[in-house]
Amino acid sequence: MFENFQNEILVVARLLLGGAFVFAGLRNIQNRKLVASLMTARGVPRAMLALWLGIVLQVVAGALVIAGPWTAPVAAALILFLIVATPMFHNFWDHQGADRATRINGAVSNVALVGGFLALIAHSL
């Protein structure tokens, strides 16, 4: 039934996956002091530099996912980003109660994003 809409579905998938990262990167610019302090607390050396590198990756790679060039390497870069960022910001094992549940939800969401990027990579091969 949906095979006639494969290209349209792929465009929506790219917009959603890439757009999430463009949005997150822009949001991190606005919250850069808070995010850098969280990164410092988690032991990240040169946290502000690492944050800006992450922001550039989020925005540029997210835009490239939307636009379509270099899909597999860009998606792989975002998977690596998620592998690093998830335990840093969604460290549910260090929390209890509602905060733990929120962090578990964030970790599960990032796992789902990895699944979306793997599907995008598979489609591009």
* Mean pLDDT of the region 19-35: 95
What value does the mean pLDDT of the chain take? 92
Residue 7 pLDDT:
87
| Neighbouring C-beta atoms of residue 59, cutoff 10 Å | 19
Residue 1 pLDDT:
56
Phi, psi at 70, each rounded to 5°: 55, 40
Q: How far is CA 83 from the centre of its chain?
A: 9
Residue 2 pLDDT:
62
From the number of C-beta atoms within 10 Å of its C-beta (0-12, 13-18, 19+), residue 78 rates as: buried
Closest CA to 83 of 117, 46, 56, 60: 117
* Mean pLDDT of the region 67-92: 92
Per residue in 93-121, pLDDT (tens digit) is 888 999 889 888 889 999 999 999 999 99
H/E segment holding residue 97: helix 97-124
Q: Which residue has the higher pLDDT, 2 or 11?
A: 11
pLDDT at 3 over 80: no
* Mean pLDDT of the region 76-95: 90
> Tokens representing 25?
């990167």
pLDDT at 71 over 80: yes
Rg (CA), the chain: 16
pTM over 0.75: yes
Residue 35 pLDDT:
93
Q: Contact 54/28 with Cβ under 8 angstroms? A: yes
Domain ranges of the chain: 3-124
